[in-house]
Amino acid sequence: MFKQLLLIFLGGGLGSVLRYLISKSLNFETEFIPIGTFTVNILGSLLLGLILGIAARSEIFNSNTVLFLAVGFCGGFTTFSSFAFENQALLRTGDYLNFFFYTFGSIILGILAVFLGLFLSKLT
């Protein structure tokens, strides 16, 4: 059990650092939507679909690798809390149009990205 928790911890730390670097470089105060958070959430959804799809179809990833990549890395890389906070900020400032695009774009594209990852995993 300790080994699995350590793998999740290490993957989550790596994902969180990468998310921070991407978000820091892509989120600008003048942006209509936080493109950095949007990017990591969609990319993380794609990676999760790909990882879980490959794990379900082959022996490439063992259970520890899935914990490290899917639970740890993707869990640390994506961020629902920042997404929720940024949406609250859009609502607070009355930016309803960008709230709508950011919220529904993130949800719809995130789900589609998982499906795309699962589809791409069939090609490997």
Cβ neighbourhood burial of 58 (10 Å; 0-12, 13-18, 19+):
exposed
To the nearest 10 degrees (0 to 180), the angle between helices 80-92 and 35-57 is 150
- 78 among the known binding-site residues? yes
Write the CA distances from 29 to 23, 99, 120, integer angstroms. Answer: 12, 15, 35
- 11 among the known binding-site residues? no
Annotated binding site: 75, 78
Annotated binding site for Na(+): 75, 78
